[in-house]
Amino acid sequence: MTIGKNIRTFFDGKWHDGDIAVMRAADHGIWQGSSVFDGARMFDGVTPDLDKHLARINRSAAALMITPTLSPEAMLEIARDGLSAYGRAQAVYIRPMYWAIDGSDLGVAPAENSTGFALCLEEVPMPPAEVQTTLTRTRFRRPVLEDAVCNAKAGCLYPNNARMLVEAKAKGFGNALVGDAMGNVAETATANVFMVKDGVVFTPIANGTFLSGITRARHIANIKAAGIEIHETVLTFDDFAAADEVFLSGNFGKINSVARFDDTEYRSRRMTDRIRSLYMDWALSAEARAA
């Protein structure tokens, strides 16, 4: 599935133009779901936290019992080589991927040292700052580590997210606000979530049911550096219904304002816009470029 255009794919040691085939019919990653990926962004000629995304995919692979085959430094060199074909005005989604090729133990467990790798680049515009989404509750929840590999960015987790999103869309909303096993808010179907109340920023505490995102961590650091009060804590759906503002945090759009949660309309986005400015100022700074 492509989400953009102008695709380049690194596979089998070289770059290819287009959305090429990289798996075979009997690869473990297809029929047993052993695949992981990560996502980073290039925009305005910068690649914020790309090194952190590349380090995370190796952690995700290990969590799913797939043997990583490249160091983050080697992947960074590959990514930079591929990105050199794009201009400063082009926004690019950067997606490294691992999958198991062979299986062991009756084919169910992925075999060690049998790993496929590809890195896909797709030209995808950054969502405009003015675009907002809406949220609703969903009957589906985030799993716990005892039930699923919540500590990995694994493809096998995404059908559950898809159920959340399809349910929300059927109700006329853009996304779903999702609970954890205890019924407290964890994240949305596609991104981490923050809320603002009386000038204070809150976000669900990372409790192992969702990935505490790299962009989430960057926002938290920027917010603290700006002297804005922020708390990682347990949050309920009622807290979000009583909030002044809500925004989403993820690599794809970096920050996305929320206009409504069920019957609650958010009439302010002042803090959201400020945090967006903090992120963009950091992303274009000498500190980020040197990373």
Q: Is residue 276 part of a domain?
A: yes
Task: Specify whether 157 is located in the same domain as 75.
Answer: no
**Distances 31 to 35, 66, 116, 132 between C-alpha atoms, Å:** 10, 15, 14, 37
Q: What is the pLDDT of residue 106?
A: 81
Of 102, 123, 144, the residue that ends a domain is: 123
How many CB atoms lie under 10 A from the CB of residue 167? Answer: 17
Q: What digits encode the pLDDT tens for the residues 183-214? A: 999 999 999 999 999 999 999 999 999 999 99
Q: Is residue 289 part of a domain?
A: no
Task: Specify whether 210 is located in the same domain as 163.
Answer: yes
Q: What digits encode the pLDDT tens for the residues 161-189? A: 999 999 999 999 999 999 999 999 999 99
- 100 pLDDT tier (thresholds 50, 70, 90): very high
pTM for this model (two decimals):
0.94
- pLDDT exceeds cutoff 70 at 269: yes
Domain hosting 180: range is 132-283
Task: Specify whether 68 is located in the same domain as 46.
Answer: yes
Strand 264-265 and strand 245-250: the pairing is unpaired
Q: Is residue 217 part of a domain?
A: yes
Task: Specify whether 34 is located in the same domain as 163.
Answer: no
Task: Specify whether 110 is located in the same domain as 149.
Answer: no
Spatial distance between the Cα atoms of 128 and 9, rounded to a whole number of angstroms: 26
Q: Is residue 47 part of a domain?
A: yes
Whose structure tokens read 């009622």?
238
Q: Is residue 290 part of a domain?
A: no
Of 123, 149, 167, the residue that ends a domain is: 123
Task: Specify whether 172 is located in the same domain as 110.
Answer: no
Q: Is residue 162 part of a domain?
A: yes
Q: Is residue 153 part of a domain?
A: yes
Helix (H, G, I), strand (E, B) or coil at 219: helix
Task: Specify whether 117 is located in the same domain as 157.
Answer: no
- pLDDT exceeds cutoff 70 at 270: yes
- pLDDT exceeds cutoff 60 at 139: yes
- 105 pLDDT tier (thresholds 50, 70, 90): confident
Spatial distance between the Cα atoms of 167 and 203, rounded to a whole number of angstroms: 24
Q: What is the pLDDT of residue 286?
A: 61
The structure tokens listed for 112 are 């060690």
Residue 85's CATH number: 3.30.470.10
Task: Specify whether 171 is located in the same domain as 279.
Answer: yes
Task: Specify whether 204 is located in the same domain as 138.
Answer: yes
How many Cα atoms are found within 13 Å in the side-chain-facing hemisphere of 112?
0
Task: Specify whether 246 is located in the same domain as 144.
Answer: yes
- pLDDT exceeds cutoff 60 at 1: no
Residue 213's CATH number: 3.20.10.10
Of 123, 148, 176, the residue that ends a domain is: 123
Q: Is residue 291 part of a domain?
A: no
Q: What digits encode the pLDDT tens for the residues 242-253? A: 999 999 999 999
Count of domains observed in the chain: 2
Task: Specify whether 97 is located in the same domain as 184.
Answer: no
Helix (H, G, I), strand (E, B) or coil at 6: strand
Task: Specify whether 147 is located in the same domain as 105.
Answer: no
Q: What is the pLDDT of residue 2?
A: 63
For range 91-112, the mean pLDDT:
93
Q: What is the pLDDT of residue 253?
A: 92
Beta bridge partners of 257: 132, 247
Helix (H, G, I), strand (E, B) or coil at 89: coil
Average pLDDT, the chain: 95
